[in-house]
Structure 1
Amino acid sequence: MNFIIRYKRTFIGLLIGSILGYMYYFYIGCTSGTCPITSNPIISVLYGGLIGSVFSHKKNDK
Structure 2
Amino acid sequence: MPTVALYNISGEQIGELTLKDEIFGVEVNESVLHDAVVMQLAGRRLGTHDTKTRSEVSGGGRKPWRQK
Calculate the TM-score normalised by the size of structure 1. Answer: 0.27
Which has the higher Rg, Structure 1 or Structure 2? Answer: 2
Higher helix share: 1
Which has the higher relative contact order, 1 or 2, with Cα contacts under 8 A spaced 6 or more apart? 1
Q: Which has the higher strand share?
A: 2
